Every structure is written in C-alpha cells, then in structure tokens.
Amino acid sequence: MTPPEAPQDGTYATTGNTVPAASLRVDVLTKRADFQRASRAKRVATPGFILQMRPRRAEESSNAPIRVGFTCSKKVGNAVARNRAKRRLREIARKTLPYQGRAGMDYVFIGRREATAALPFDHLLADLKRALDTLHGVKK
C-alpha cells in the first residue's frame, strides 16, 4: 500500500473551521506554590477527578490566559496507573478548557483512585463540563 500523495496546489489536507492555535494557549503549572494556592481555592469533586479553580491576581505575571496543573498521588496506584490517569486528565483539559475555561484562572486536576483511569472517556468529559459550570456559577 502506498501513502496518499500530498496536494500539489498548496492546500492542506484538513478542512473545516479550525481555530488558530495561538488563541487556544494553555500553560502548565509547574511550581509547588501555584498548586498550594490552588488547594485553598474553590473545588468540585466528581466521580473521576477533583477540579480546583483559582483566579490569578493582577501582579502574577503570565502571558497565558489559562493555566492548568495535574497531580496524582501514590494513592492512585503505581507509576503506570498515575501516568495513565494524568494522560487522560491532560486530554480532557486540552479538549475542553480552551473553549469553556475562563481567562485569568488556574485549574488543577487531581486524579482519583481507580476512577480516573477506569471511567469511560465520555464520562470524564461530561464530568469536566459539569464541574466547570459549577465553578463558574452557570445555572441550568
């Protein structure tokens, strides 16, 4: 089987309404102090994970409108289980936060034992949307 030929007219293979990548920028939290500040902020527990949300102060410099962090303790399982849980959390954040997250916020995802890695992916996405609605005060 031969691979398909690239278009010769300069067009791209993908079509449709895609948003430019610059507008979907999400930075990752790496400093312990940021995680500690988020732990004192609002939180929502879902069956698959815990989500914390903290508004950043004006003096906290960051060029990204949304920052996100991920954590899974040893209670989640061994390194393989923790890494799988964090991969799944990163993916739901990547799919949802650029569209439903709020600028100037820090979000921290905390994995749960035997739930984050085991729940169906659609349930995790639905849990995130519900958690964001709760944290943002959206009434339904």
Q: What digits encode the pLDDT tens for the residues 3-17?
A: 666 666 656 555 555
- Please count the other Cβ atoms lying within 10 Å of the Cβ belonging to residue 1: 2
Pairing of strands 49-55, 26-28: unpaired
Quote the crossing angle between the two packed helices 79-100 and 121-136, to the nearest 10°: 50
Residue 57 — very low, low, confident or very high, per pLDDT cuts 50/70/90?
confident
Token digits of residue 15? 């079509």
Token digits of residue 93? 């954040």
Query: Phi, psi (5° rounding) for residue 23?
Result: -80, -10
| CATH code of the domain occupying 27-135 | 3.30.230.10
Reduced to 3 states, what is the DSSP secondary structure of residue 40?
coil
Q: The pTM is what? A: 0.79
